C-alpha cells in the first residue's frame, strides 16, 4: 500500500534533472506525457504532434525549442 501512495503522491523527476543534456522543451514534453491528472496531459495526439513539430522547427531554425505548456500559452525555452 505504501508503494501505491508513493506512486500517486510523488512528482516524477524531470528527464533534464536526470540528464542535463536533455533540452528543457523535451523534458517538459515528457513530463506532460506522464502527468498524473488528465487535465495536465495532452488531450489529443494532435496536440502532442503540434508541440513536437514546433520543437523541431524551432530547433532547426535557431537551435532553440518552443513547447506549449497549455492551450493558451506558449513558452520558448533554450536548451
Q: How confident is the model at residue 78, as a pLDDT? A: 44
Residue (of 76, 5, 17) closest to 30 by Cα position = 17
| Separate counts of helices (H) and strands (E) for the chain | 4, 2
State the pLDDT at residue 54: 87
Contact 77, 23 (CB under 8 A): yes
CB-based burial of residue 68 (10 Å sphere; 0-12 exposed, 13-18 middle, 19+ buried)? Answer: buried
**Res 48 pLDDT > 60:** yes
pLDDT at residue number 70: 46
68: left (phi over 0), alpha (psi -120 to 50) or beta: beta
Q: What is the pLDDT of residue 71?
A: 39
To the nearest whole number, what is the mean pLDDT of the chain? 79
Higher-pLDDT residue of 78, 63: 63
In this prediction the pTM is 0.67
Amino acid at each position: 500500500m505504501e508503494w501505491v501512495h508513493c506512486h500517486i503522491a510523488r512528482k516524477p523527476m524531470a528527464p533534464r534533472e536526470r540528464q542535463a543534456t536533455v533540452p528543457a522543451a523535451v523534458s517538459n514534453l515528457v513530463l506532460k506525457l506522464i502527468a498524473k491528472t488528465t487535465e495536465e496531459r495532452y488531450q489529443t495526439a494532435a496536440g502532442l504532434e503540434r508541440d513536437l513539430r514546433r520543437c523541431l522547427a524551432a530547433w532547426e531554425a535557431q537551435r532553440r525549442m518552443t513547447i506549449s505548456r497549455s492551450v493558451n500559452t506558449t513558452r520558448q525555452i533554450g536548451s
